[in-house]
């Protein structure tokens, strides 16, 4: 079953100028990972340090494989240096059709 992952980020104010490039590079690898169905980046209008990364995955197993890869030296990104607080990751699945 496809799932949606929300990665809620709080960026440091001083990195707002460079954050788009780091996110673009990081998310290119995410989009290329097996099972990734798409990624969107949402920035709060009133607070540009608040970013929500919305990832769609073919399965929870593929999402888990991606998270495990990101925890390796090969999969590490520069995203951590941008953060003012630890990220929050929440997984959602469609439970009914509206």
Phi, psi of 65 (to 5 degrees): -65, -40
The answer to whether position 97 is within a domain reads no
Query: With 70 as the cut, is the pLDDT of residue 97 above it?
Result: no
The CA distance from 40 to 54, in Å, is 5
CATH code, domain carrying 57:
3.30.70.100
How many distinct structural domains can be found in the chain?
1
The answer to whether position 62 is within a domain reads yes
Structure tokens that stand for 51 in this block: 């970013």
Q: What is the pLDDT of residues 70-94, one digit of tens each?
A: 999 999 999 999 999 999 999 999 7
Specify the DSSP class assigned to residue 15: G
Q: What is the pLDDT at residue 94? A: 78
Q: What is the largest CA-CA distance in the chain?
A: 42
Q: What is the pLDDT of residues 13-71, one digit of tens each?
A: 999 999 999 999 999 999 999 999 999 999 999 999 999 999 999 999 999 999 999 99
- For residue 47, what are the domain limits? 3-92
Tokens 């769609």 map to which residue? 56
95: pLDDT confidence band, cut at 50, 70 and 90?
confident
1: pLDDT confidence band, cut at 50, 70 and 90?
confident
The answer to whether position 58 is within a domain reads yes
Q: What is the pLDDT at residue 9? A: 98
């Amino acid at each position: 079953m496809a799932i949606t992952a929300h990665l809620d980020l709080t960026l440091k104010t001083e990195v707002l100028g460079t954050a788009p490039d780091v996110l673009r590079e990081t998310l290119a690898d995410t989009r290329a990972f097996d099972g990734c169905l798409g990624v969107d980046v949402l920035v709060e209008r009133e607070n540009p340090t608040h970013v929500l990364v919305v990832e769609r995955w073919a399965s929870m197993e593929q999402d888990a494989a991606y998270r495990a890869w990101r925890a390796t030296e090969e999969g590490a990104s520069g995203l951590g240096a941008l953060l003012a607080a630890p990220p929050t990751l929440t997984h959602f699945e469609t439970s009914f059709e509206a």
